[in-house]
């Protein structure tokens, strides 16, 4: 089986758990995931099978879309509801829709984020959550991120008793964006502590949540049939963002023997292109300025 299997990851399990269990269900080892989801986050997790594992980096480069909720009035160690409360500020009155939307708009475009201590980012060879659990303080790296869309999707709800305010949102973001941190940054714009109170990834690598299937779905299907059928997306869907070039017989003979291709293969010159032969994706080529040629970047098949 070679292709992309969009999985619906339920809250409470890690992305590694999904891969581990799928290896047993599908009885195959060559499986990888594209884009880690925190254990408490549910949603789409693209899984690459067989030759498609070579496309993981392309899937990760694609943007992601999330829906979720933010609560204003307190902050936690983990920036979500799993952590210990470290700051509170009772809201004397609710923020208006305009105030919240203005704060959201200020966080769209190119931004700089500092990843949360409870994250898998490595500093000096150790993951930040290891430092956090050990009570150690370490300087965290700054990360560039692009927020393409960050919009309010519900009327804010003010809890008079708790003096907090919650609302839902949709966010379309680039690779490397920390959504939990985006919630905290939003609170900072409003000058109050805040947390991510719920989060679901609805699109990743170009795959929608409606295309995703749970591990139970997969296991039940494999009991009845040894094939995933239409649930397994073609490898080509992982590289749809690049221009596709259909090769002639002569060009294919050259490409499968490792021979680079001139600029005339596709002009204007593109950083990466997909080469196909008889409609089948064969490889991703990239422009090598030093060679003045398109050369192989990732090869999926030479047959």
Q: Compute CA distances 186 → 69, 73, 151, 262, 291, whole Å.
A: 12, 12, 12, 49, 47
- Partnered with residue 233 across adjacent β-strands are 4
Structure tokens that stand for 266 in this block: 């596709």
| Structure tokens, 243 | 């221009």
Q: How far is Cα 173 from Cα 65, in angstroms, rounded to an integer?
A: 6
> Tokens 């992305």 map to which residue?
15
Task: State how far the Cα of 216 lies from the Cα of 220, in Å rounded to an integer.
Answer: 6
Q: Which tokens belong to 59?
A: 């899937």
* Non-local CB neighbours of 39 within 8 Å, separated by 6+ positions: 11, 12, 13, 14
Look up residue 48 and give its two tokens.
């690459």
**Residue in the structure block whose two tokens are 């694609």:** 62
- Nearest Cα neighbor of 81 from 135, 41, 133 is 41
Which one of 38, 42, 80, 185 is the catalytic residue? Answer: 38
User: Tokens at residue 115, please?
Assistant: 């990843």
Please confirm, yes or no, whether 38 is among the known catalytic residues. yes
Active site residues: 38
């Amino acid at each position: 089986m070679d292709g992309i299997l969009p999985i619906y990851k339920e809250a409470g399990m890690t992305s590694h758990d999904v891969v581990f269990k799928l290896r047993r269900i599908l009885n195959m080892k060559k499986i990888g995931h594209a884009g880690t989801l925190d254990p408490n986050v549910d949603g789409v997790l693209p899984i690459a099978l067989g030759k498609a594992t070579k496309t993981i980096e392309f899937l990760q480069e694609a943007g992601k879309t999330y829906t979720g909720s933010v609560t204003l009035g307190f902050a936690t160690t983990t920036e979500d509801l799993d952590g210990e409360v470290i700051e509170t500020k009772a809201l004397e009155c609710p923020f208006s829709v305009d105030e919240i939307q203005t704060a959201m708009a200020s966080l769209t475009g190119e931004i700089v984020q500092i990843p949360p201590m409870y994250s898998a980012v490595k500093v000096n060879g150790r993951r930040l959550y290891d430092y956090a659990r050990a009570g150690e303080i370490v300087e965290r790296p700054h990360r560039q991120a692009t927020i393409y869309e960050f919009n309010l999707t519900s009327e804010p709800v003010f809890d008079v008793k708790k003096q907090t305010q919650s609302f839902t949102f949709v966010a379309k973001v680039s690779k490397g964006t920390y959504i939990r941190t985006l919630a905290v940054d939003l609170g900072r714009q409003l000058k109050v502590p805040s947390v991510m109170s719920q989060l679901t990834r609805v699109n990743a690598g170009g795959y929608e949540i409606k295309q995703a299937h749970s591990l139970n779905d997969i296991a039940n299907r494999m009991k009845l049939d040894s094939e995933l059928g239409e649930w397994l997306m073609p490898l080509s869907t992982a590289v749809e963002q690049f221009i596709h070039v259909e090769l002639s017989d002569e060009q294919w003979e050259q490409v499968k023997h490792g021979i680079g291709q001139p600029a005339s293969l596709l002009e204007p010159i593109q950083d990466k292109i997909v080469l196909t032969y008889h409609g089948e994706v064969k490889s991703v080529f990239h422009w090598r300025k030093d060679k003045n040629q398109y050369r192989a970047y990732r090869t999926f098949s030479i047959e």
